[in-house]
């Protein structure tokens, strides 16, 4: 029996194409069962509520899971920010199990949304928007403890990347499953400015330039799986914290591409996390 399906009248819904839940041997069983359930139980006016404890995103946080989150995730299509937040919640609980919460801080991708570039005629407005985003990120960095890595999934316009920040060392690691270079200068500006603001908030004299390291991690096989790769990146970081502390973050990303089985591990865990909130 479902105990957490609620009505949410304020959310503006997009049209979601329902698909017949045909079994596929390539889909993790837990995800297929979740998909079948949601096709029957959810509609434009219902969702699954997942209450996350304080410490995940500072105050208590509620994730509202919609059909528009479930369907693309099932079909390996481009996924929503909600999908990534759900998996971050799963990873946070794993960190708690191993008493490693003090080593990782998550930043909610909803609070620093992508803003399309404005024209040169509106340059002042552009930098006002970028500085506002930098201020939000700086506030989250200020809550990090020394030697804690800050994981920031970010959408740079129809594409997810992972930015890993060590604010006290003023070092930024970029993982982009489409490219091994910095492609979004606006996002680089936001992160650089957030670290300058972090230093100001801490009354700390910073370096002249923030250190950026582009990590040559696994690359996605198509134009759709960037969100899944970001989730797998975060999983690998948390699974290999000891290696990162001994060597470097780059040392754990040596594969050219993730296997389907490795991506399906993420999909299985994601579905299991949601199912915990459906059944007694």
Q: pLDDT (tens digit, 9 = 90+) per residue, 73-103?
A: 999 999 999 999 999 999 999 999 999 999 9
Domain housing 53: 5-275
Q: Judge whether 280 lies within some domain.
A: no
Distance CA 60, CA 54 (A): 4
- Over residues 113-138, the mean pLDDT reads 81
Q: Could you tell me if residue 222 is inside a domain?
A: yes
Q: How far is it, in rounded angstroms, from Cα 68 to Cα 154? A: 19
Cα angle: 183, vertex 72, 176; to 5 degrees: 20
**Please, are residues 189 and 130 in contact by the beta-carbon 8 Å criterion?**
yes
pLDDT at 5 (0 to 100)? 38
For the segment 164-168, the average pLDDT, to the nearest whole number, is 97
Report in angstroms the alpha-carbon separations of 37 from 17, 43, 89, 101, 277: 16, 11, 21, 33, 13
CA-nearest of 225, 227, 251 to 237 is: 251
* Residue 117: per-residue pLDDT: 61
Does residue 45 or residue 196 have the better pLDDT?
A: 196
Q: Look over the chain and give the mean of its residue pLDDT values, rounded to a whole number.
A: 89
Asked if 154 and 161 count as a contact pair (C-beta separation under 8 A), the reply is yes
Q: How confident is the model at residue 141 (pLDDT cuts 50, 70, 90)?
A: very high
CATH number at residue 88: 3.40.395.10
Residues in the chain, how many? 280
pLDDT for residue 21 is more than 60: no
Contacts of 61 (CB under 8 A, 6+ apart): 51, 52, 108
pLDDT for position 27: 93
Q: For residue range 242-255, list pLDDT tens digits in order.
A: 999 999 999 999 99
124 pLDDT above the threshold of 50: yes
DSSP conformation letters of 215-273: ------SSSS-HHHHHHHHHHHHHHTHHHHHHS-GGGG---SS--HHHHHHHHHHHHHH
The number of domains in the chain is 1
Mean pLDDT of 162-190: 96
Q: CA–CA separation, 69 vs 80, rounded Å?
A: 6
Does 275 have pLDDT greater than 50?
Answer: yes
* Alpha-carbon span 116 to 133, nearest angstrom: 13
Q: What percent of the chain has pLDDT over 70?
A: 89
Model confidence at 8: pLDDT above 90: no
> What CA–CA distance (Å, rounded) separates 228 from 177?
10
Instruction: Report the percentage of the chain scoring pLDDT > 90.
Output: 80
24-69 pLDDT per residue, tens: 457 999 999 999 999 999 988 899 999 999 999 988 999 999 999 9
Provide the strand spans (E) within the chain.
5-7, 46-57, 59-65, 104-106, 149-155, 160-166, 171-175, 211-214
Tell me the C-alpha distance between 127 and 248, whole Å: 33
Task: Quickly state the pLDDT bin for 123 (edges 50, 70, 90).
Answer: confident
Q: CA-CA distance, 233 to 229, in Å (whole number)?
A: 6
Tokens 């296997």 -> residue: 259
Q: What confidence score (pLDDT) does residue 23 get?
A: 45
């Amino acid at each position: 029996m479902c105990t957490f399906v609620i009505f949410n009248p304020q959310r503006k819904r997009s049209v979601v194409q329902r698909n017949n839940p045909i079994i596929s041997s390539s889909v993790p069983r837990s995800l297929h069962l979740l998909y079948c359930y949601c096709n029957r139980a959810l509609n434009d006016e219902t969702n699954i509520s997942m209450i996350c404890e304080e410490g995940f995103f500072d105050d208590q946080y509620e994730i509202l899971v919609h059909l528009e989150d479930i369907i693309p995730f099932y079909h390996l299509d481009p996924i929503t920010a909600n999908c990534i937040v759900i998996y971050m919640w799963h990873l946070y609980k794993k960190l708690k199990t191993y008493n490693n919460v003090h080593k990782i801080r998550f930043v909610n991708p909803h609070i620093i949304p992508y803003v399309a570039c404005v024209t040169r005629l509106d340059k002042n407005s552009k930098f006002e928007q970028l500085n506002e985003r930098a201020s939000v990120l700086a506030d989250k960095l200020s809550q990090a403890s020394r030697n804690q890595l800050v994981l920031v999934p970010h959408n740079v316009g129809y594409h997810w990347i992972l930015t890993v920040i060590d604010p006290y060392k003023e070092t930024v690691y970029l993982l982009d499953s489409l490219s091994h270079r910095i492609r979004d200068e606006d996002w680089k500006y936001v992160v650089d400015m957030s670290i300058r603001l972090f230093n100001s908030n801490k009354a700390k004299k910073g370096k002249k330039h923030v250190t950026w390291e582009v990590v040559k991690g696994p690359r996605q096989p198509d134009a759709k799986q960037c969100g899944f790769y970001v989730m797998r990146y975060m999983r690998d970081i948390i699974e290999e914290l000891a290696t990162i502390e001994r060597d470097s973050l780059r040392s754990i990303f040596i594969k050219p591409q993730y296997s389907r089985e490795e991506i399906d591990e993420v999909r299985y865990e994601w579905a299991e996390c949601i199912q915990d909130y459906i059944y007694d």
